[in-house]
Structure 1
Amino acid sequence: MKHDHFASLYDSLMEDAPYKSWLSFATTNFPDKGSILDLACGTGTFTCMLAKQGFTMFGVDLSQDMLTIADDKKREQRLNIPFILQDMRSFSGFEQLDGITLFCDGLNYLLDSKDVKQTFQQAYSALKSDGVFLFDVHSEYKMEYIFSNQLYGENGEDISYMWFCEQGEETLSIEHELTFFLKKQDGSYERIDETQYQRTFQLQEYKQWLEEAGFQEIEISSDFGESTDLEEKDRIFFKAVKK
């Protein structure tokens, strides 16, 4: 995923994101004060929230712009979190972790099954025995019936945007076309265009790839781990344990 100038807009777009629900899901499944890696950490909001809960945190992201903002946040909050520029498919330097998170559909930016499998293998290698890998993905239902050919938008005081979603070329993929209008100090607006691609895979494929990487005790749920009803849900959650 290319962020560049998009990094400066990310937190505005994520103001209503369910961070507290992600936090509850994570703290329920991780040991107290464990060592946790937040993959695709973005601007570090969730990483900082976990650190405040007493976890020893690390953050990894592919965008230096995102990590620069994350570094500012940790300094403002006086938190000790290493934020590291790495690709989730090939991250290194971690071992014996208690847990790994990959939330906010970060995995859906990998469009090739080979890349998803590689990410699972890297996660497995970085965990200790009984370590837990938590992630979420867009559901098939969301890709086919919620995102497909939909137009979203918001007219804010300083930031307005239009967001069009259309089916991508790959199975269960979506192309996001975003146009932002940023109000400048002189009252004029700057236009920024952004294109992003996401893809999801069948739940059984994710489960198979986790098992191939070595994970066991795989749990698939919805509603942030609160339900096993997967029908017509927009986000699916996975918990996988290294044994």
Structure 2
Amino acid sequence: MNSYQALSAYYDRFTEDVGYAEWADFFQALFRREALSPKLILDLACGTGRLTRLMTERGYEMIGADASPEMLMQAMESTMELSPRPLFLNQRMEELDLYGTVDACLCCLDSVNYVTEPAALREAFRRVHLFLEPKTGLFVFDVNTPEKFARIDGQSYVREEADVFCVWQAAVEDELCAYQFDIFSRENGLWRRAQETHEERVYPLETLRQMLAEAGFADIHTYGDFAFSPVRGGEDRVFFTARKRD
């Protein structure tokens, strides 16, 4: 599950509308709000490294970690000319093992939902807490909400370009959302088909808050969709922030 062997080659093309600059702006505004001036930042579940690259260009020293070798290859190729270059690590969240502490950890695009085993997510939170700088370390992540999963249940989506056609379907059952991807790519006049299935877990917001507290985090806050207003319910995406307080 959640392999990117086929999807990695097209991921950036399929996510052109993500708006990574908006994400970077939000994180920098959050740093100012938290009176934090991070130098070394971990981009956890960094994927193809588009945010990693953008934050590097904005002056931060970056580490990117991801479970997919295919996605990391894309990230490394896209950041080769940067100086200093980000450090990329092939690690699952629950197996995170850094050489020292970082000032902040960012985990974006509902990557937390992709940790489908609650025990693994608890371990991932514990490890993030372990490798954050004491007293000042900030953990930021976002999740797809239960309301969003209810909305996309049974929906199909299509992305079509000249040389690639992708259709994916979402189905929610037993608090798991399965995405079935069918990717058709044209090479030398012939079409090749690849299939992947990805899964995300539906996590209630209070469950995540409890997991963070159990891992040792404090000052836990939630925000709705790039806004610093309280979560009111019905949002598709919610951001969490938590501080390491030793």
* Superposition TM-score tier, normalisation by shorter sequence: over 0.9
Q: 1:182: which partner in 2? A: 185
Q: TM-score, normalised by structure 2?
A: 0.92
| Distance apart, 1:38 and its partner CA | 0.5
RMSD: 1.5
Q: 1:238: which partner in 2? A: 240
Residue aligned with 2:136, SS = strand
Q: TM-score, normalised by structure 1?
A: 0.93
| Cα distance between partner residues in 1 of 2:228 and 2:30 | 12
| Distance apart, 1:94 and its partner CA | 4.0
Structure 1 residues 69 and 79, CA gap change in structure 2 (3 angstroms): farther
2:150 to 137, 144, 147: 144
Structure 1 segments (4+ residues) deviating >4 Å: none
Residue aligned with 1:71, SS = helix
| Cα distance between partner residues in 1 of 2:204 and 2:226 | 19
- Deviation digits for residues 170-210 of structure 1, max 9, x if unmatched? 32x211111111122x3322111111111121111101111
| Distance apart, 1:79 and its partner CA | 4.2
1:206 to 205, 208, 212: 208
Aligned-partner residue type, residue 238 of structure 1: F
| Distance apart, 1:106 and its partner CA | 0.8
| Cα distance between partner residues in 2 of 1:196 and 1:17 | 19
1:193 to 192, 195, 199: 195
Task: Give structure 1 stretches of 5+ with no counterpart.
Answer: none
1:220 to 199, 219, 222: 222
Structure 1 residues 33 and 210, CA gap change in structure 2 (3 angstroms): closer
| Cα distance between partner residues in 2 of 1:230 and 1:7 | 35
1:124 to 129, 133, 146: 129
| Cα distance between partner residues in 2 of 1:167 and 1:229 | 23
- Deviation digits for residues 137-192 of structure 1, max 9, x if unmatched? 100101112x2000111222222111111113x32x211111111122x3322111
| Cα distance between partner residues in 1 of 2:38 and 2:213 | 27
Higher mean C-alpha displacement, 136-145 vs 77-86: 77-86
Task: Give structure 2 stretches of 5+ with no counterpart.
Answer: none
